[in-house]
Amino acid sequence: MNKVAFFDTKSYDKESFNKFENENIKIRFFENKLNIDTVSMARGADAVCVFVNDSIDKEVINELSELGVGHIALRCSGYNNVDLKAAKGKVKVSHVPAYSPYAIAEHTMGMILTLNRKLHRAYIRTRDHNFSLESLIGFDLHGKTVGIIGTGKIGCAMAEICRGFGMEILGYDPFKNSNFCGKNVDLDELFKKSDIISLHCPLSKENYKLINKNTIEKCKNGVFIINTSRGKLVDTADVIAGLKSGKIGAAGLDVYEEETEVFFEDFSDEIIKDDTLSTLISMPNVIVTSHQAFLTREALNKIAETTMENLESFFEGKELKNEISV
């Protein structure tokens, strides 16, 4: 029986993974995130299953290797939280390269529509029996220009949705995708011409804090910034400054630079100590969702199915087709 230590478990994780129960794999579910303080919980496991806010740095990888863990199975597509150089030769790493691009793209458009038409504010008003339309004016998406940074499967799905709204679509990606239905441009042109900028790219050294003071200055006045990818693609302090000055008209953030200790948890009875996050949440033209964009039944099932296939391939000594290496 092969044993897997499953970290950062939520109820929906158990529900989706239990559907793909395998008599050869025993999963131990832990609510704790994986980090240097919790890595000992993997003792006796042959593999660990981790998520976006687990910290798999060099120290953790060395400890996992010492414990005899041979596989890190990411149940997500991004892997910026894993030190791949440290893992080389010690432990194999796999991920879920694709689950539901539609889930992310649809959530992105939901944020745009909500911010534009002030649906979040209207909802609160009418619950207080306030039916005034003051300050709820939006704009037609039809004819506006959306700039999509990252034209992979999610970026393409987003472009198709925007095309349905009659929008002009610009895209930037260092790796061109023939399936992208918009016009490929360089970043400067995208920043200059876009009414809405939506991020759909993995985090790398090259695009760390891609949205910053300098790039924001290149944008149209009142630009919408939407990020459903990774928090550190955005310099949050610079975005807040842009929101305060009016340069940025609205921001939709499903991810946040310092989300690790906050997102996916319930702090409704506590005071948030993160002043930056508190500032964002207090702004009427900002929506923060807690890394929710992936959360559809279809996506959860695909994540569980692919992760279990990765684990089975590793345990059976087969080719690990979703392996990540450097």
Catalytic machinery residues? 230, 259, 291
User: Which of 236, 241, 229, 240 is closest to 258 using CA atoms?
Assistant: 236
Residues 81/55, Cβ–Cβ less than 8 Å: yes
The tokens of 317 are what?
């000594």
| Rounded CA separation 135/233 (Å) | 31
What length does the chain have?
326
* Residue 273, CA distances (Å) to 9, 289, 298 in order: 24, 18, 35
Phi, psi of 163 (to 5 degrees): -65, -35
CA atoms within 13 A of residue 25's CA, in its CB half-sphere = 25
Residues 116/139, Cβ–Cβ less than 8 Å: yes
The DSSP bridge partners found for residue 248 are 223
User: Which of 7, 47, 13 is closest to 30 using CA atoms?
Assistant: 7
Quick check: helix, strand or coil at residue 253?
strand
Residues 82/93, Cβ–Cβ less than 8 Å: yes
Amino acid (one-letter) located at 257: E
